[in-house]
Amino acid sequence: MFGIEPPLKDLELLDQECPFFIQQFSSEAEAKMLANRSVLIKFVVELWGHGNTHEDLIESLRNSHDSVVPYLSDTASFKIVVDGFNKSLPQKYKIETIERLTERALPFTGKIDLKKPDHLYYLLEDYGKQKKNAESFPQHVYFGRWVADGNRNEIQNQRINKRSFIGNTSMESSLSLLMANLSKVQKNMLVIDPFVGTGSILVPCAYHHAYVMGTDINYLLLHAKAKPSRSKQKTRSPDESIRNNLAQYGLETYYCDIMVGDASRHSMWRTSEIFDAIITDPPYGIREGAKKVGKEEDVLLTPDQRVDHIPQKVDYDLSNIFNDLLNFAYKFLRTGGRLTYWFPVHRAAYKEENIPHHPCMKLVSNCEQVLNIRISRRLITMEKVQPYREDQYLASQTHVDHYLNASFREMYFKVTENPQKSLKSEGNSQHIKKPP
């Protein structure tokens, strides 16, 4: 999004169990841009030295680059923070570590200021993977100058319990912000959520100055007439709406509209690639059932009955939801735009062939959020690489239907005797027993 190209060789060395990652940037400005947008980065430091032990660190700092020298001779105030991963460090140990570092490697001449220092430094100790009993000595030690904090404060600012309009399936703010970043949402974009619900995904998009809109088939929810989600609240307030949620953050100017509509009915839209991003979390059938307009039996309506008629709804299975979603993106997403959505799975049965694909959509990322030992959901991001052509309609396909033998609701609430055998293969029958 910012034109920053991280070296692939560095990304390949990323340890999923380690919270520290060394990354090369061409300038400090690049690091600040990235941190200012990211909700997964805690902070960025300019690395001055590191080593497996404190002695290695001290030797590394003594041989550090000339760019460190001006900070040592500067009269500006400073503060050093000592922090450990996977181990709580006593205050006495922190003070001794700082004194040893400043005496032997970094003779700062400025004054110490613990409240508002001109420069902030971090000494970070890595005690290895999360476990009950950490090692006595760190596995690796880092030291550097603070450059920027990540945008994690926005997670608290956008917490859903602070909003007037929430529902059972409102997306938590950290994940909504992450989805907006994966979709590269920027100023003046047009973003849609086809399963908008209470609009929790649209808030971070508007926060990044994109214009937002959405559709949902649930008339009662969008008009604040559905059952409230908050404890002890008997009825919803008339002012509960997605628009008021945005107004709460001063973002009402980015509100386009919310429509009661069926996401499966693409014909209600004028065929035009108008959306810059499609970001959504379709209903899984756990807390909210997935529905679409349909008839279980034909009923003839009189002209009077057609006035204000609410059509019948039928179940909308997940396999069709995701294929329709990709087809919607093919028709209405601009080339280069991104589609980001959640795909719930049974972990033992999941395989990459379960993810629907489209010849005009390229898979960008596939991340797992573990919900419990059996169930997770995949955060899928795709980018449109070819424009829509009316004379050559291309449809989404799924090589292996993850929901062929059981709905996700059945996978979620029931325990299989052998999920590897009963769910992993399409042709195998499923043996289900009640959970203990």
Instruction: Please report, for residues 256, 258, 334, the alpha-carbon distance to residue 211 in angstroms, rounded to integers and kept in the order given.
Output: 6, 12, 15
CA gap 259, 385 in Å, rounded: 28
pLDDT of residue 247: 97
SS3 198: coil
Q: Are 196 and 215 in contact (CB under 8 A)?
A: yes
Q: Which of 249, 101, 277, 272 is nearest to 179 (CA)?
A: 277
CA 229 to chain centre: 23
pLDDT of residue 422: 42
Non-local CB neighbours of 220 within 8 Å, separated by 6+ positions:
226
pLDDT of residue 425: 39
Instruction: Please report, for residues 5, 263, 283, 373, 427, the alpha-carbon distance to residue 291 in angstroms, rounded to integers and kept in the order given.
Output: 42, 9, 9, 28, 27
Please report, in angstroms and rounded to a whole number, the separation of the first and last CA atoms in the chain: 49
pTM of the model: 0.88
pLDDT of residue 428: 39
Tens of pLDDT along the chain (436 residues)?
Answer: 888 877 655 666 677 788 898 888 889 999 999 999 999 999 999 999 999 999 999 999 998 877 788 888 878 999 999 999 988 999 999 999 999 999 999 999 999 999 999 999 999 999 988 667 778 899 999 999 999 999 999 999 999 999 999 998 999 999 999 999 999 999 999 999 999 999 999 999 999 999 999 999 999 999 988 889 888 888 899 899 999 999 999 999 999 999 999 999 999 999 899 999 999 999 998 887 889 988 877 778 888 888 877 788 899 999 999 999 999 999 999 999 999 999 999 999 999 999 999 999 999 999 999 999 999 999 999 999 999 998 888 899 999 999 999 999 999 887 554 444 444 433 333 333 444 4
CA gap 335, 276 in Å, rounded: 8
CA gap 165, 151 in Å, rounded: 24
